Amino acid sequence: MDFFQAQNDARRNTNRFVLLFIVAVMVLVLLTNFLVMAFMGAFSAYFGNDLVMGRYADSLLASGGNSADILSWAFWKAFLRVFDWQMFFGVGFIVTAIVAAASFYKIMALSSGGKVVAEMLGGRLIRPNTELPSERRVLNIVEEMAIASGTPVPLVYVLPEAGINAFAAGFTPGDAVIGVTEGSIRHLNRDQLQGVIAHEFSHILNGDIRLNIRLMGLLHGILIISIIGSYLLRYRSSSRRRRSDSTAATVVLGLGLVAIGSVGSFFGSLIKASVSRQREYLADASAVQFTRNPDGIADALRKIGGFAEGSTLESPSAAEVSHAFFANGVRSMLASFLATHPPLGDRIRRIQPHWNGEFLEAGRQADEIISTETPEPVANQSFPFQGAISPAVADIAFAMNNVGRPQQQHLEYAHALIDQVPNELIEAVREPYGARALIHALVINKDSEVRKSQLEHLEKQGDQGVHELTARLLTLVDALGNQFRLPLIEISIASMRQLSPSQYQLFKKNLSVLIEADNKISIFQWALQKIVFHNLDSGFNKPSVFSVTGKYSALSQLENEIGILLSLLVHAEHDNYKDAEKAFNAAKRQLDNIHIKLLQSSIINLNELDTAIDRLALLKPLLKPRVLKACAASITVNNHVSVIEAELLRAFSAAIDCPMPLLLNPLNKG
C-alpha cells in the first residue's frame, strides 16, 4: 500500500469509527432510559401492583386481554401507543448531550497536540541537547528518521515504565511527539529501537496519529456514563452515615450507570480494535521498508514476548491510549477479541516467515539471523519518465515514488549528513536559542548594508542573546552546502517547539522583518518561512480538531490554485517565457481535463500562493500525487534540476502534508 492510499484509508477509518460511535450512543440511550425509568418508579406506573393496572394493562386490553399475546404485534402496537415518549426522548437528549459534551471537552483538552498525551502518561521530555548516552541514542535515531522522511523532528518523551513499548501522538507531523518507555531504552539495542521508532514514524506519516487522538476524544464521551456512576457511588460512600431510601436509590442508580458504562467500555474497545489492527500490520511493513532490517523490529517483538513485563504499562491512562502503542499496553480479559494489536506471533511471522517460535530474553541481544532476505523497497512506478535521465532527475523520481515511504538509502544519507555538519551548528540547533539563530542566519542577506540593518534589528528587537548567536553562526552558515539547509531547519523546528508562545510570536515577527529587509522575498526565503510556520503554527496555535480533510474531491475545483503553484515553479528557474511555457505544458500533461494557464511572473503574489497551497492541502489523498507529479514534470523537463527547484518541490510537498524524502544527489549548483 502506498502513502496516498494509506492516507485515504485513514480517512475512511475515521468515518467507520464515527458510525460505530453513533451505534454505541444509541445503545447507551436505550439502556439509560431503562435504568432511569426503573429508578423513577416507572415500572410501578406502567404495570401497577397486580399487573392489570397502568399502561401494561392498557396494552393487554387493546390486544384482546390475553397475556399470552405479549409476543404479538397487537400488544406491542398498543404498548407503543401508551409508551411515555416524552420521557424517552428527554432521557435520550440528556444522554446524547452529556456524551457530546464529554467528547468535545476531551478533544479540546487534546488539541494542544501529542505532548498532552505524553504528559498524561507521565512522560518526561528528552531535551534535544541532552548529553545522556541512552537518551542521545534515541534522539539520534529520531533525528535521522525525520530528516530522511522530510518531516520535522518530533519531540521525544521517555515514559517511566518497565515494559517495552512506544507510541506516537499528535494532530500533524508539526505537533507530533514520540514516546518511548524506559524499558525500551534499557533492553533494546539500536537496531531494535530503530525498528520500533520506524513503526511509530509510519503512524505519523500515514495520518494515524490524528485518527488516534480523535478516537480518544470520542470514546471519552462513551465512557462518561460509567464515570458519572462511579462518582455517585463515591458520593454515597462519603455519606453512608445518612441511611435513607434516597441514598439507597443513589447506590442503585450508580451501580446501574457503572454497568451501562461497562457496555460503553466494550463498544470503545471494539471500535479501537476494529480500527487499529490492520494499521499495525501496515506500520510493521513500513518499518521494514524504511530500515531494510526486518530483524530489528522482529527482534523487538520477540523481546517483548520473552520479557516478564512484556509491553504492559502501569499508567492509569494507558487504557485510554492503548490503540496508539507499539504493542498491547494493557491486559484484558477479552484480549483475543478486543485487543487493539494483532498477536505478537502473527506480527513476527509476517516479518520473519521462518521464525522458529522462540522469544528473546530481555537481558540479551539477538545473536542469530532468522532471515537473510531483505525486502526490496516498494515504489510506485508511475513517475512520468522515459529513456535516459540524469542522476538528479532520477533522484527526484526516487523521492517522488517514495513520498511518505522513506527507504534505507534516505536513512543512511541522513545519518551521513548529520555527521558532516559542523559541531557548533548541530549543538546550536538542538536548543531553542540556537535554533532561532540558525533560521535567522539562513535569511540574512549577503549584501553588507542589508545585513547590517538586519543584525541591528535583531539586536534591538530580538530576545537577549539571539543577536550575538546569529552573528556568530553567520560564517558557518555562509559556507554551508545547500544539502544541509532543510535538514537543519527540520532539527530546529523541534527545538523551537520549546519556546513560550510570546517567544514564538516574537520570532515570527523578527523573521518576517529580516526577510523583507531588502523589500523583496526570494523563493528560498518564502520556502523556509512556509516550512517553519506551517509546522510550528500547529503546535502554538491549537489546530482545529474538527478541521475538514479531503474537502476537495476533484482537481477541477482548484484549477486556479494549481495554475498559481505551477506558474511560480516554472518562473523560479526560467526567465525566458518560452522555456517557462515548455515546462508548464509538461506539467499540464499530467493533469488530464484540467484547464489551467501560465501566469506572468509579475502578477504572482506570494500571499495568493500561500492560500493556494493551503487549499491544495485539503484535496483528497488520492488526488495529491497528480499535483506532485505535475510539479516534478515541470522541473525535470530539461533533464536538469536546480537547487531552488528541488527545495521548492520539497516545500510544496511538505505544505500539502505529503512529506518527500531526502534527495540523495546533492545539488550545490543553480
- Which amino acid does the sequence have at 69? D
Backbone angles phi, psi at 166, to 5 degrees: -160, 170
Catalytic residue among 200, 280, 561, 573: 200
Identify the burial level of 168 via C-beta atoms within 10 angstroms of its C-beta, where 0-12 means exposed, 13-18 middle and 19 or more buried.
Answer: buried
For the question of residue 456 being annotated catalytic, the response is no
| The three-state (H, E, C) secondary structure of 75-90, written as one string | HHHHHHHHCCHHHHHH
Q: Parallel, antiparallel, or unpaired: how do β-strands 155-159 and 177-181 relate?
A: parallel
Q: What are 640's strand-pairing partners?
A: none
How far from 355 is each of 290, 298, 391, CA to CA, in Å? 21, 9, 40
CA distance 652 to 650: 5
Taking each helix axis from N to C terminus, what angle separates 485-496 and 133-149, rounded to the nearest 10 degrees? 120
Per DSSP, what are the bridge partners of residue 180?
158, 166
Alpha-carbon span 543 to 362, nearest angstrom: 40
Inter-residue contact 445 to 451 (CB < 8 Å): yes
* Cα distances (Å, whole numbers) of residue 384 to 275, 387, 393, 604: 35, 11, 11, 27
Residue 317 one-letter amino acid:
S
Residue listed under C-alpha cell 548541530 = 426
3-state secondary structure 379-394: CCCCCCCCCCCCHHHH
Q: Which amino acid is at 383?
A: F
**Angle 359-360-361 from CA coordinates, rounded to 5°:** 125
Contact 141, 135 (CB under 8 A): no
Question: Contact at 8 Å (CB) between 419 and 442?
Answer: no
Kind of pairing between the strands at 177-181 and 166-169? antiparallel
Q: Give the whole-angstrom CA distance, residue 312 versus residue 17.
A: 25
What is the Cα–Cα distance from 145 to 153, expressed in whole angstroms? 8
Q: Which residues in 68-189 belong to E strands, given as ranges? A: 124-125, 155-159, 166-169, 177-181
- The helix (run of H) or strand (run of E) holding residue 652 is helix 643-655
DSSP tag of 600: P
Helix, strand or coil for residue 282?
helix
Known catalytic residues are 200
